[in-house]
Structure 1
Amino acid sequence: MNHLNKLLDEYIVFLRVEKGLSRNSQNSYNIDLSRFIQFLENYSIDDYDSLESDVILKYFTLLKNLELSNRTIGRNFSALRGFFKYLSSNDYITSNPLAKFKPPKIEKKLPVVLTQNEIEKILQGPNVKTILGLRDRAMLEFSYATGTRVSELINIKKTDLFFSDGIVRVLGKGSKERFIPIGSHAIRWTEEYLVKSRIVLIKQSKSGNFLFLNNRGSKLTRMGFWKIFKSYIEKTNIKKSVHPHSIRHSFATHLLEGGADLRSVQELLGHSDISTTQIYTHIDREFLKEVHKTFHPRG
């Protein structure tokens, strides 16, 4: 293992221990930074101190030529920026080559949002007379009621439910804890799932305290959630290009459409920076423009 890879391994440990990043986030950083190290090796660079900004520019030009998405390129830049900040603060480098490097311009695309009618169709999709159908209904209701990330949803445990108080405890990014209100519909379906469905699934495997289980009684995975969600999208014949967080995006947008203030939505979503939440105001403005166009006499 060369010097560059040793420093990367040390940084990944730092992200896990000091920053509390999830395993998925650690893997993403590792993949992005390993790609960069491989690029440096092609230029026979084995010391970060000898790295100049023109080499970094060539690297991002390469990523663009590979036709990676703007989001992926932006993520790579963020990974490099954090890595070099770590190297600089620990005196592994005398100067930070990214200090004066302008980040690549990232085109912010609005997230795909499902209408309230489309959400209702998806919620009505599962056959609740079956064990897995009841689980799916409870899980989809829970997801829309709380706006949790998929990674948060699948890690929720029975001990995180405080239904008598109408709240749920969620462990978010960086192991930050937050409490989210949950409505009566989601509570009712989740309680029915616990009594009629989960109690059957848990017999097949010892899966600890996790709330949502797969057909083998094990903790549901992110891919498992995506396959389930996608199946109901196809069943309802919705033609939008959805992804696992489409319910979360819809949750935020519908709150704003209903008059919720931005700060409250930020708290519910667990965003550390309100600028991340502000993208939903653009969607809300499009909704308001459509309302105006439809209902105003001169719209």
Structure 2
Amino acid sequence: MNIFLKEYLATLKIEKNLSENTINSYKSDLTSFLNFISQSGVDDLSDIKADQIASFFKLLKDAGLNETSAARYFSSLKGFFKYLFRNGYIKSNPIERIQPPKISRKLPEVLNVREINSILDQPDVKDTIGLRDKAILEVFYACGTRISELINIKLNDLFLSEEVIRVFGKGSKERLIPIGSSAIKWVEEYLQKSRPLLAKNYKSENYLFLNQRGTKFSRMGIWKIVNHYARQAGIEKSVHPHTFRHSFATHLIEGGADLRAVQEMLGHSDISTTQIYTHIDRDYIKLVHKKYHPRG
């Protein structure tokens, strides 16, 4: 069974160009399942039955696994069995008889425009670090990038005269995102006055945003910056880098942006992922109606 698993993971890497982290997640999920099946006395993939898969998910639930993680396991198993069936390694696909775990979709917390502006106003732009932080926050809000995308932006990914930046999203998929005039202004200031003082020759590897050691930021490093300025602005909501991404999408849709355009900017492969922001928009519309309609 492990031979088929290795073959499947190799296929994911070559054909789908998935990141190492994603492939390791698949490997971990599928290894857990295969270990469970082996302990049940099954040593042939063709002998796996739907009720054994159901038992595996019951075990996960009893162990306290949350809905999101259970859904990830299901996705991993579904892809694996689909691959096995398509290639003739099994005669029937047992997971087709299993209902996927239901996820209660929670609306992401967002900041309003006033709260965003309050955070953006916090960094001391006369200071080397403050100017860098200002540029980071401006790019987050202007472009709605994921944290992994932001920390990996390089100097040759900037096309500021064309008002776009290039990022590499999930599966190393490349996309161009518009960047507004305010963010361009602060990125250019940072490039002129701050980055040269932070750069450490070969250590900086052409990355746009550098920490105080002159190297690429870690995810935690960016999280600390966002959290620091949110607290300094007196924001009581839980604010993290993804909050800027949620706020970016919500404010675009509230302003009347086309859903497909927002999907493209966010780098969502499926528009259903983007549609969660239309629910936020509906809540906003209800509030406006209640506040301004004579019979609200």
Q: Does 1:91 align with 2:88?
A: yes
190-199 vs 138-147, which deviates more?
Answer: 190-199
**Is the partner of 2:94 in helix, strand or coil?**
coil
C-alpha distance in structure 1 between counterparts of 2:201 and 2:233, whole Å: 31
The answer to whether residue 165 in structure 2 is matched with residue 168 in structure 1 is yes
Partner of 1:8: 5
Structure 2 residue 122 is the aligned partner of structure 1 residue 125: yes
Q: What TM-score does the superposition give when structure 1 sets the normalisation length?
A: 0.92
Counterpart CA distance in 2 for 1:231 and 1:12 is: 40
1:131 deviates by: 2.2
User: Unaligned stretches of 5+ in structure 2?
Assistant: none
Tell me the TM-score normalized by structure 2.
0.93
Q: Deviations over 1:8-28 (max 9, x none)?
A: 333222222211112222232
Aligned 8 A contact 1:205 1:216 in 2? no
Q: Give the alignment of 1:278-289 within 5 angstroms.
A: 278-289=275-286
Q: Aligned ranges for residues 254-293 of structure 1 at < 5 Å?
A: 254-293=251-290
2:248 is the counterpart of 1:241: no
Among 223, 227, 234, which residue is 2:224 paired with? 227
Secondary structure class of the residue paired with 2:95: coil
2:10 & 2:53 partners in 1: Cα distance? 24
Equivalent residues of 2:29, 2:73 under 8 A apart: yes
Aligned-residue offset at 1:128? 2.3
* 5+ long unaligned stretches in structure 1: none
Q: CA deviation at 1:282?
A: 0.2
Answer yes or no: is 1:298 the counterpart of 2:295: yes
The runs of at least 4 consecutive aligned structure 1 residues that moved more than 4 Å come to: none
Report sequence identity in percent. 58
The total of aligned residue pairs comes to 296
How much does 1:31 deviate? 2.4
Match of 1:113 among 110, 114, 129: 110
- Say if 1:71 and 1:106, in contact at 8 Å, map to a contact too: yes
Distance 1:47 1:166, change over 3 A: same
Cα pair distance change 1:43/1:285, threshold 3 Å:
same
- The residue aligned with 1:185 is 182
Deviation sequence 1:47-83 (CA, Å, 0-9, x none): 2221111111111112222222211111111111112
Match for residue 72 of structure 2 among 57, 64, 75: 75
Question: Does residue 131 of structure 2 align to residue 138 of structure 1?
Answer: no
Q: CA RMSD in A?
A: 1.8
